[in-house]
């Protein structure tokens, strides 16, 4: 942009309103890349890791949760045990994928009627709702009281159904349940809070940090699931983290496998620096990824660490990256048995 | 101060605003000493115990709760039985100290990583949360239904975790649960009240009596845990007690062992005089303490009594006190396993 | 009652619930006499004026307001000037009595129709509403900006009419407007507060101190008009005064001429001792009254003072009192022009 | 403390809870000094001015307001004109000091009665309330529409009186009115907001940043008046500034002359870096001060600037400082004419 790279806040504010309409996913992904690059540069100029610019470490390393799963409760329990042996203390459990997509043997009617698009998946809502408490019961019994269990609803059921299901799993003491409602259904949190004390994680679908204001001020959820590379980078993520400190809501940055190692490093530097950190979604980088990105955050016994070089600590080998051209991914929907599209 | 000792209220109001910034813990401790001395003098001038100046007795003596504890539920139950034999009808139970600090055998990760300060303690949050319902279960079963049981959370867990835990102990009918939230988290009381009917005690961490206004007007808690020697003395404590009468919230003055016998006498005189008294934290004075402070309040079968001499009834033997010079106390923090500081 | 006179609070609490139904005007007047006697005795036993038992003086004397009036705005202004010369800085103005009762020359229709009872008065509501802003305009112009002006609506108009009238007098900066609404109309305060910043005084018609809770917590009025000899004495009046300190609402005890000098002394002792005192209604005792009651509070340049003898300082000469047997007073109502009874 | 100076946030969190009772004015002043020193050191280690660590500049310099005053409206206008010639665009006006203390010629009754403490000041509340609208009227007429005018109530009148006065000055378009209420009276903001659209500044009396939460979430005021050297330093001040960005409340750090140049530099570095900066209280350093503190922020045409050296940019010459030993300041109260203490 030909500007002074030091003025990160000014550039962020300029970009935020540059298109008049506030930052949707397209602008925001670009802005996140820019913002993360500017913090990386500032760290290098200061000869400090980025977490030092954010106030320094408040913990020695970052506790993470990993993903266990399987097509039966027992398979889930086996998967959990495997990760416990690796030292993980926080494990997310999903039976048959998000919302049990693909786990049912029922043949969906809409496909028989030639409705929908090729590649569309389907979901058996009732099957999913029944399966989750059973999964928690089996895993809790087989894996003991010491392990923290998480689960992601992925917004795919009706709000009142989600509330009912979360109430049922309260006795298994989940660490958090994620995304019980889609963004259109935020007002249902009031009933959820009256009904259960299960901690809730929310926010990976928000585009604009202002979407966090009302639910956080009202303490509707307990863990902030920002997708940092989607919300505009470290600058706005720090503002949401600080809002969380005011209301004792903790961070749990969204860290799926398709976020780049730079993005994961951005998470990790914030995680080390904010008091109200909660948990981090773990990632283990493949050898190919590490070949492209040197200096990836590392995992050890359930904790993530960053290297201690200036900036974010991750560099890109562009020559290596050229080996992996972008490929087009197919588009698909999840539908109910009658063909109705389900909103994630 | 060289002023008329009769004008207690005027001196309190003057001191309250004397530093422009309202009374923090330092000024307030000094002010408490001054205020308690002024009431002591006024009682002596009137030839009456202080409780007479506050309206006279509304009960013959003061029911107290004492502290039982141990490192296992069974040890807690044994401790409770011992105090029941002494006549106590209200007993607080803590397993492994406040928040179970130090009770875990886990090696804290942050210490291995050389993070934090020397002497820092650590807390296994999950271990604590699981232990409390079990402790209540064992103690209730072994000690019967006739004994009132109390417990102090000491603010060391997340609000949603505290709410969940309190909900679990509701079936054991606690007399009160103390300090579920730190002062930064008062808004969580709304959800706590929707979730359980367990009586709650709160307030030993407040510095300024105005911090009591909102939670009491909203009836968020049931017992006022003022630290009288911290809040500015008898004058402001009486104002909070009177506010409690309007909203039917009862007193439970904070009475740890490091409050002086003069402070305990101040509690006792108020306890005798206010209708909405709830319970008093018991204290038993050592022989050394009684040598320094003559006229200490006395305990008998779970009741505290004051002597009937004018004023607060406690005198200080300065010569005897000189035998015990002030010693420096070490400073330490409580941290989570990853090194994060836990706010009490 | 054969009880220990020291236990004032206990006796008050016992009397409060002694009839199951809480204290109406009959019980409360008796209870006020008892409570004031007990504080008088306690002061004498302590050899201290009662204000000393309440925390000591927070001001040297008690600023009072007096009553000016007349049948025209100009007569009101003349009356105000007379009191200003006596040193009064706060003066209440009423044109033609409360609500202008009796000030109109209109002949009421209901009397011609032989409706109502003998002795009933009547009120021209429209005439009253128009007269008040004019009275304020004339008095403010003739008497200057330095004098504080008060007015008592005496609850005799519709709430929306009172709000409209108070809005009109805001520019004349009244010190307070009293009793805009009858006790049945408390919810109208919300609209009054949204409409004007005129300070409001309220409460002489309340029987039970709990009637003060909601309006004070919501800061609906600024001055507490308790009739101490009606609400149960010094004990409950102090509790309402303390509630006022929490919400910065000040005292303005109801002090009409038919309250005894003992009652006025009770006001004065509280007035000297509470920080959030606002103003006191003045009274000047006749020679006859002073012959019956020795030690009456005295007035000087707009300030009331008490003598400094132990107790309340007022004694009754029963022999002298016997000269004035109780005489029956006639009962009468205020009605509108069509005969409808007006609620005060 | 012998700890790693890099971990500012961890040290702040540790200090915040180190005394169990949260930070009152005494701890907080010490903590502010520590926190500001740590940011200074971090800036020096990074070879950057502190504002760079906070995200970089979002403005080139800092608009400030200065203090004009006098004993008459006309003297205030003359004072304003003098500062306008110096280039100031924002000017605070006070007639006769805060709350007009000392400006009245009335002889206070309480002094004649030998009440209160030696050196106590007095305030004519009515005189103050009448003087402010007149002052605004004269200054606005004489100084024109282009100058922004501010005023500080200093919390010394009743809430309902402050609301009434602010309503009266609305027509003169003040930039902000500061401290209409003492911290005990925050609930009155609801009525203030219903009554006027005058912008409000608040917060110099808060000790703990959590006192800002409720009023800011409810948007009760428009400018944050934190005393940074009182609230715990740059770390917590940045958190309040960020909270302000969420609710569009702007900064106006409290910058009286008794804050050190280091404190003013801390203000200035934050002012340069936060988007929701509002205004800064100006300060002009004497030659003596500049001799002790090298690198003081500078004023030019109403703008403050910092030097561009690493850290906060201000150094202390301890040898020079030793020339000015600490002197004891007298303690005094402000009272009403009847002797009642007025809370600032």
Distance CA A9, CA A149 (A): 38
Mean pLDDT of D204-215: 93
CB contact set of C300 (below 8 Å; sequence gap of 6+):
C61, C87
Which class for A209: exposed (0-12), middle (13-18), buried (19 or more C-beta within 10 A)?
buried
**What tens-digit pLDDT sequence spans chain A (344 residues)?**
677 889 999 999 988 888 788 778 888 888 999 999 999 999 999 999 999 999 999 999 999 999 999 999 999 999 999 999 999 999 999 998 777 775 555 678 888 888 888 788 888 889 999 999 999 999 999 999 999 999 999 999 999 999 999 999 999 999 999 999 999 999 999 999 999 999 999 999 998 999 999 999 999 999 999 999 889 999 999 999 999 999 999 999 999 988 999 999 999 999 999 999 999 999 999 999 999 999 999 999 999 999 999 999 999 999 999 999 888 666 678 888 888 888 88
Q: What is the three-class DSSP state of D45?
A: helix
Q: Are A48 and A273 in contact (CB under 8 A)?
A: no
Q: Which of A10, A48, A210 sits opposite D58 (nearest CB)?
A: A10
pLDDT in tens, C96-141: 877 777 555 567 888 888 888 878 888 888 999 999 999 999 999 9
Q: What is the pLDDT of residue D293?
A: 96
Q: What is the three-class DSSP state of A66?
A: strand
pLDDT in tens, B103-113: 455 678 898 88
Which class for B168: exposed (0-12), middle (13-18), buried (19 or more C-beta within 10 A)?
buried
Q: Which of C63, C146, C193 sits opposite D338 (nearest CB)?
A: C63
pLDDT band for position B161 (50/70/90)? Answer: very high
Q: What is the pLDDT of residue B203?
A: 94
Sign of CA dihedral D282, D288, D290, D294: negative
Q: What is the pLDDT of residue C330?
A: 64
Which class for C328: exposed (0-12), middle (13-18), buried (19 or more C-beta within 10 A)?
exposed
Beta strands in D174-277 (DSSP E): 176-178, 200-202, 223-224, 250-251
Q: Are A333 and A116 in contact (CB under 8 A)?
A: yes
Q: Which helix (H) or strand (E) holds A305?
A: strand A303-305
Which chain D positions have a beta carbon within 8 Å of A273's beta carbon? 9
Mean pLDDT of C81-85: 97
CA-angle at D65, arms to D64 and D67, nearest 5°: 145
pLDDT of C22 above 90: no
Q: Are residues C9 and B217, on separate chains, in Cβ contact within 8 Å?
A: no
Q: What is the pLDDT of residue C18?
A: 83
Radius of gyration of chain B (CA): 21
Q: What is the pLDDT of residue C1?
A: 61
Distance CA A331, CA C205 (A): 74
Least confident of B23-27, C70-74, D16-20, D166-170: B23-27
Q: pLDDT: is C58 or D98 the higher one?
A: C58
Phi-psi region of B270 (alpha: psi -120 to 50; beta: other; left: phi over 0): alpha
Q: Are residues D21 and B20, on separate chains, in Cβ contact within 8 Å?
A: no
Which class for A180: exposed (0-12), middle (13-18), buried (19 or more C-beta within 10 A)?
buried
Which token pair is A285? 């980088």
Q: What is the pLDDT of residue C235?
A: 97
Distance CA C76, CA B42 (A): 48
Q: Which residues of A309-323 are buried (b: 16+ CB within 10 A; e: fewer)?
A: ebbbbbeeeeeeeee
Which chain C positions have a beta carbon within 8 Å of D194's beta carbon? 193-194
Radius of gyration of chain D (CA): 21
Q: Is C98 a catalytic residue?
A: yes
Q: What is the pLDDT of residue A269?
A: 98
Please identify every residue of D annotated as catalytic: 98, 154
Q: Which of C51, C57, C59 would best serve as a mutation to test chain D binding (most D beta carbons within 10 A)?
A: C59
Beta strands in chain C (DSSP E): 62-70, 90-95, 121-122, 148-152, 176-178, 200-202, 223-224, 250-251, 280-281, 293-294, 298-300, 303-305, 315-316, 334-335
Distance CA A343, CA A321 (A): 34
pLDDT in tens, D282-332: 999 999 999 999 999 999 999 999 999 999 999 999 999 999 988 866 667
Q: Are C71 and C103 in contact (CB under 8 A)?
A: yes
Q: Are residues C303 and D109, on separate chains, in Cβ contact within 8 Å?
A: yes
pLDDT of D112 above 90: no
B161: closest CA of chain D, how far (Å): 21
D304: closest CA of chain B, how far (Å): 27
Distance CA D305, CA D299 (A): 6
Distances (CA, A) of D140 to C294, D87, D146: 58, 17, 9
CB pairs under 8 A between C and D: 61
pLDDT in tens, C134-191: 999 999 999 999 999 999 999 999 999 999 999 999 999 999 999 999 999 999 999 9
Q: Are B266 and B36 in contact (CB under 8 A)?
A: yes
The percent of residues above 90 in pLDDT, for chain C, comes to 76
> Could you say which DSSP state residue C91 is in?
E
Cα dihedral C280→C281→C282→C287 (10° resolution) = -120
pLDDT band for position D1 (50/70/90)? Answer: low
Phi-psi region of A311 (alpha: psi -120 to 50; beta: other; left: phi over 0): left
User: Which among A197, C292, A41, D160 is positioned nearest to B196, based on CA atoms?
Assistant: A197
Q: What is the pLDDT of residue D17?
A: 87
Strand partners, C316: C293
Q: Are residues B22 and D230, on separate chains, in Cβ contact within 8 Å?
A: no
Mean pLDDT of B226-234: 93
Distance CA C162, CA C178 (A): 11
User: Which among C266, C269, C217 is positioned nearest to C240, based on CA atoms?
Assistant: C217
User: Which among C147, C210, C149 is positioned nearest to C175, based on CA atoms?
Assistant: C149
> Could you say which DSSP state residue A61 is in?
S
Distance CA D100, CA D126 (A): 10
Q: What is the pLDDT of residue A342?
A: 87
Strand partners, A66: A91
Q: Which of D123, D160, D342 would best serve as a mutation to test chain C binding (most C beta carbons within 10 A)?
A: D160
Q: Which residues of C65-100 are buried (b: 16+ CB within 10 A; e: fewer)?
A: bbbbbbeebebbbebbbebbeeebbbbbbbbbbbbb
Report the Cα B71 to chain-centroid distance in Å.
22
Mean pLDDT of C290-308: 95
Q: What is the pLDDT of residue B115?
A: 92
Q: What is the pLDDT of residue A317?
A: 94
* Nearest residue in chain B measured CA to CA from D21: B205
Q: What is the pLDDT of residue B17?
A: 87
Which chain D positions have a beta carbon within 8 Å of A45's beta carbon? 46-48
Q: What is the three-class DSSP state of C204?
A: coil
D333: closest CA of chain B, how far (Å): 7
Distance CA C64, CA C148 (A): 11
Which chain A positions have a beta carbon within 8 Å of D45's beta carbon? 46, 48
Which chain B positions have a beta carbon within 8 Å of D341's beta carbon? 10, 13-14, 17
The answer to ipTM > 0.90 is yes
Please identify every residue of A annotated as catalytic: 98, 154
Q: pLDDT: is C27 or C90 the higher one?
A: C90
pLDDT of B101 above 80: no
Q: Which of D1, D211, D246 would best serve as a mutation to test chain A binding (most A beta carbons within 10 A)?
A: D246
Distance CA C111, CA C339 (A): 8
Distance CA C223, CA C225 (A): 6
pLDDT in tens, D158-182: 999 999 999 999 999 999 999 999 9
Cα dihedral B190→B196→B198→B204 (10° resolution) = -30
Q: Are B213 and C248 in contact (CB under 8 A)?
A: no
User: Which among A247, D21, A275 is positioned nearest to B186, based on CA atoms?
Assistant: A247
Which chain B positions have a beta carbon within 8 Å of A173's beta carbon? 164
Q: Are residues A9 and D56, on separate chains, in Cβ contact within 8 Å?
A: yes
Q: Are A306 and A272 in contact (CB under 8 A)?
A: yes
Mean pLDDT of C272-282: 97
Q: pLDDT: is B3 or D168 the higher one?
A: D168
D110: closest CA of chain C, how far (Å): 6
Q: What is the pLDDT of residue B1?
A: 60
List alpha helices for B232-294, DSSP H. Answer: 234-247, 261-273, 287-292
Largest CA distance in chain D: 63
Q: What is the pLDDT of residue D329?
A: 65
Mean pLDDT of D215-230: 95
Q: Are residues B246 and C243, on separate chains, in Cβ contact within 8 Å?
A: yes
Q: What is the pLDDT of residue D37?
A: 96
Distance CA D305, CA C281 (A): 58
Mean pLDDT of D54-82: 96
CB contact set of C242 (below 8 Å; sequence gap of 6+):
B239, B242, B243, C274
Q: What is the pLDDT of residue B183?
A: 93
Touch test C–A: 3 Cβ pairs or more under 8 Å: no
Q: What is the pLDDT of residue A109?
A: 81
Q: Are A56 and A49 in contact (CB under 8 A)?
A: no
Q: Are residues B338 and A57, on separate chains, in Cβ contact within 8 Å?
A: no
Q: Are residues A199 and B158, on separate chains, in Cβ contact within 8 Å?
A: yes
D213: closest CA of chain A, how far (Å): 7
Q: What is the 3-state secondary structure (H, E, C) of B53-118?
A: HCCCCCCCCEEEEEEEEECCHHHHHHHHHHHHHCCCCEEEEEECCHHHCCCCCCCCHHHHCCCCCC
Which chain A positions have a beta carbon within 8 Å of D245's beta carbon? 239
């Amino acid at each position: 942009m030909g500007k002074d790279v030091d003025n990160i806040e000014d550039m962020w504010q300029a970009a935020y309103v540059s298109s008049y309409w506030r930052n949707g996913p397209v602008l925001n992904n670009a802005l996140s890349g820019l913002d993360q690059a500017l913090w990386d540069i500032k760290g290098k100029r200061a000869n400090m890791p980025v977490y030092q610019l954010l106030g320094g470490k408040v913990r020695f390393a970052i506790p993470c949760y990993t993903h266990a799963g399987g097509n039966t409760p027992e398979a889930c329990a086996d998967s959990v045990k495997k990760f416990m042996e690796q030292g993980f203390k926080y494990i997310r459990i999903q039976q048959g994928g998000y919302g049990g997509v693909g786990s049912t043997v029922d043949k969906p009617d809409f496909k028989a009627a030639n409705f929908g698009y090729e590649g569309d998946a389907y979901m058996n809502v009732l099957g999913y709702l029944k399966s989750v408490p059973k999964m928690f019961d089996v895993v809790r019994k087989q894996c003991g009281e010491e392990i923290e269990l998480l689960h992601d609803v992925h917004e795919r059921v009706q709000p009142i159904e989600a509330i009912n299901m979360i109430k049922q799993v309260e006795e298994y003491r989940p660490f958090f349940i994620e995304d019980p409602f889609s963004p259109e259904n935020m007002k249902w949190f009031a009933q959820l809070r009256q009904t259960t004390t299960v901690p809730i994680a929310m926010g990976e679908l928000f585009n604009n940090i202002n979407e966090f204001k009302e639910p956080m001020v009202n303490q509707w959820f307990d863990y902030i699931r920002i997708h940092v590379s989607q919300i505009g980078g470290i600058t706005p993520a720090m503002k949401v983290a600080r809002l969380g400190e005011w209301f004792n809501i903790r961070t749990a940055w969204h860290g799926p496998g398709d976020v780049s190692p730079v993005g994961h490093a951005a998470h990790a530097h914030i995680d080390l620096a904010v008091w109200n950190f909660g948990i981090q979604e773990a990632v283990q980088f493949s050898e190919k990824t590490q070949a492209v990105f040197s200096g990836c955050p590392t995992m050890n016994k359930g904790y993530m660490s960053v290297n201690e070089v200036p900036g974010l600590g991750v560099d890109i080998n562009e020559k290596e990256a050229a080996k992996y051209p972008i490929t087009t991914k197919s588009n698909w929907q999840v539908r109910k048995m009658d063909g109705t599209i389900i909103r994630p």
